[in-house]
Amino acid sequence: MDDVFMQGLSQNFLRILDDEEYYDIVIEVGDEMFRAHMVILNYRSTSLRRILSKNKKKSDENLVHIKLPNILPGIFKIILKYIYGGKLSFEDYDTSDIVKILVAAGELNLHELIAYLQTFLIETKANWMEQNFNLIYKTSFEHGPFLELQEYCNDLISRIPDKIFELLDPSSAPEKLVISLVQSNNLQMSEIQVWKNVLKWGLAQNPELPTDPSTFSKDDFNILKNTLQQLIPFIKIDRLTSKEFWDNIVPYKEILPDELYMNLLKGFLNLHPDSRLNHKSKPCMTKKTVTFSLPSPSTPCYSGPSTFKVNSQEQNINKVKEVTDPLSTRIQLLPKNQNCNEEKASSNKPNELNHIRGRGFKQDITPKLFDSQFIEDVNIQDGTILAPQAKFEKTWKLSNNGRFPWPDETVLRCIDGDRMFEFNITPRIRIGSVEVGKSVDISVALQAPSDHGKHVSYWKLSDGTDNQFGSKVWCDIMVKDAD
């Protein structure tokens, strides 16, 4: 019986929408005008309520006039019928139109409709969303608080990264999406294919660049280098064959850090075209085998310096050795005063340091004891508009995808980009220990810069001794005055 009454009520309100006599507001959407009633809009949409509070009718006016510039007229007509009648049918709409309705619902803070549309898409349009993953990812992360869709996207990136990579439209794919795919532990794509896809994405972001690197100017290389600077560290170039390196990497050598390229060049120089680098053929390795062993997960993790000098009794001096692939060796972090023989690492002199180079990259790190993976921006999505000097709280969700718990001294610190904090001291956000496989929300109080425009600050975890690890995260905002 209740449903019968609700059906009649819905029809009556839809008739009110079509009424040409009692409306008191005109809404300009694109090049079309829509008549409506302020009392209904005020209670159905918090966003419209806020707009109406700033556009109250003047004493000499008969109607209130507002504009909604970010919504298409055809989509708003559908939204308006939902606001008045409380129901929608999707039989006559393409899936792309449903996504547009979702974006409009987010613009107007129609929470009930937002929740319903996300569930509808996930349960009935899964295949379409895989084929149009670019659109769904950008919609979920850039156009509104669509948490269910964000979770759906992250799950697909984790489960089928290769398929998502193949379907990617490089011209419109966000940088965060490409980073997430390259970082995925389930990515089965060959390293040369990863390089080609990342390069394809970088070139698509800069369509003015030539297609042939031999015609690049210095400025062209710098543009591409800046575009790919967040991605290159995740590509395991040292796992390519010699032929792949010479054919694909050398033409773009200018976009690589100089030290990284020179180390790679030395390693690949005398290899057979089909050969790959390994711990025996890399030029920075000595002939002598150095055996190490990792502590068990239950052993407290080392929190001191990230680099060590290896004793070589063979030449009766402390000769530096570099371990070029931590995955092919085992490291034992020994107590400060423990004696070692020539086959083990010595930490008798902890102030004598050497770096352990991981996976062919140039940063100085401990064997990859600690790691983190970015899961999602909990709030303040990329491109969020804020007023100058507005105070806000940014929250990221990160997980411990390493082999050991994060140390008790773990902090999040700002490492680069625009200044978004009040005081001269760079904040260090205390995180503490997080067990393997667990996730944590990390929040930091920030303040928007006073200058208008795009501002980005970059943050990374540190083990308490300024050794950074894991995914870099960032806060990306647009500063402008309120309309």
- Where are the domains positioned within the chain? 2-132, 190-268, 278-369, 373-479
Mean per-residue pLDDT, 103-113: 90
- Check the CA dihedral 27-33-39-42 and report its sign: negative
Look up residue 456 and give its amino acid: V
CB atoms within 10 A of CB 101: 25
Residue 6 has pLDDT above 50, yes or no: yes
pLDDT tier for residue 94 given thresholds of 50, 70 and 90:
very high
Architecture of domain 373-479: Sandwich (2.60)
The span from the CA of 279 to the CA of 4, in Å, is 76
pLDDT surpasses 70 at 157: yes
Is the separation of the CB atoms in 399 and 375 below 8 Å?
yes
Please, which pLDDT band fits residue 313 given cuts at 50, 70 and 90? very low
Q: How far is CA 396 from the centre of its chain?
A: 10
For residue 331, give both structure tokens: 């490291």
Q: How far is CA 98 from CA 208, 314, 355, in A?
A: 34, 71, 53
Distance in angstroms (rounded) separating the CA atoms of residues 284 and 175: 33
Cα distance between residue 356 and residue 452, in whole Å: 43
Same fold, 2-132 and 373-479: no
Q: Which of 15-19, 106-110, 152-156, 446-450 has the lowest mean pLDDT?
A: 15-19
Could you report the per-residue pLDDT of 212-252, keeping only the tens digit for each?
A: 999 999 999 999 999 999 999 889 898 899 999 999 999 99
Average pLDDT in the 430-437 region?
Answer: 89
List the beta strands (DSSP E) in 116-274. none
Q: Say whether pTM exceeds 0.75.
A: no
CATH for 2-132 (3.40.50.300, 1.10.606.20, 3.30.710.10, 3.40.50.720): 3.30.710.10
Q: How far apart are CA 263 and CA 359, in angstroms?
A: 11
Mean pLDDT of 321-327: 33
